[in-house]
Chains A and B, each alone.
Chain A
Amino acid sequence: GNSVTQMEGPVTLSEEAFLTINCTYTATGYPSLFWYVQYPGEGLQLLLKATKADDKGSNKGFEATYRKETTSFHLEKGSVQVSDSAVYFCALSTPYNQGGKLIFGQGTELSVKP
């Protein structure tokens, strides 16, 4: 079946630290991969995506590369800010014959201290 596993949180970092949030997946076929972010009191927002192997998604200084050989899509940022404090969700989109619904990981809470 399809599943997503993320590193457990919470993750606490100092401002300007390097961030990695690990995400691995199990899927039939070739899913698209996503990172969504949920800021306190707000809805889910798409952060970045990659639709095929070796694609790199990037946005707001965050990056993730679709690694088919390791079935991973780790999120990275070189220098985090206090405003990056949020919950981050890795997700995959099921293939065409499975409706394209999103399968999410459990989320990783990031707290950035000044």
Chain B
Amino acid sequence: DTGVSQDPRHKITKRGQNVTFRCDPISEHNRLYWYRQTLGQGPEFLTYFQNEAQLEKSRLLSDRFSAERPKGSFSTLEIQRTEQGDSAMYLCASSLGQGETQYFGPGTRLLVL
């Protein structure tokens, strides 16, 4: 068991560029969650998947954000036309199912200049 992995760990981009992050959950975990954490705050929910189906999106997830989980394995989170306010740590978590413990990856730290 290698845990949840995320790539890249750090990303610096210029305002207006598109970025994509990847999350590999623990194998056989069918739930996958994305959260965003800004400095000095707790993580905030963005969206989650049950297998390949995206079941909920937070109002924080503007139309510039899109997430996918093809084949119910890894997931990607894309941010189009990045803004400085998108600078944050993006966290991925996975769990065996509803109500089970969520295990977090190390996060991708995004800085938009």
Contacts and interface: CB of A to CB of B under 8 A. Distances in A.
A34 B99 CA distance: 12
B101 A106 contact: no
Nearest to B95: A100
Interface residues of A, number: 23
A46 B101 contact: yes
Contacts of A89: 42-43
Contact of B105 (A34, A43, A91): A43
B101 A102 contact: no
A4 B106 CA distance: 23
Contact of B56 (A45, A99, A104): A99
A105 B101 contact: no
B104 A99 contact: no
B44 interface: yes
B91 A102 contact: no
Of B40, B41, B43, B103, most buried by chain A (CB within 10 Å of CB) is B43
A96 B99 contact: yes
Interface in A40-87: 42-46, 49
Interface string A28-45: 000010101000001111
Contact of B106 (A36, A43, A104): A43
Given A42-B106, A96-B99, A107-B40, 13 more contacts: A32-B99, A34-B101, A43-B4, A44-B104, A46-B101, A99-B55, A99-B98, A100-B48, A101-B48, A102-B45, A102-B93, A104-B42, A106-B42
Interface of A: 4, 32, 34, 36, 42-46, 49, 89, 91, 93, 96, 99-107
15 contacts: A4-B42, A43-B4, A46-B102, A46-B103, A100-B95, A101-B33, A101-B48, A102-B35, A102-B43, A102-B93, A104-B42, A104-B44, A105-B42, A106-B41, A107-B41
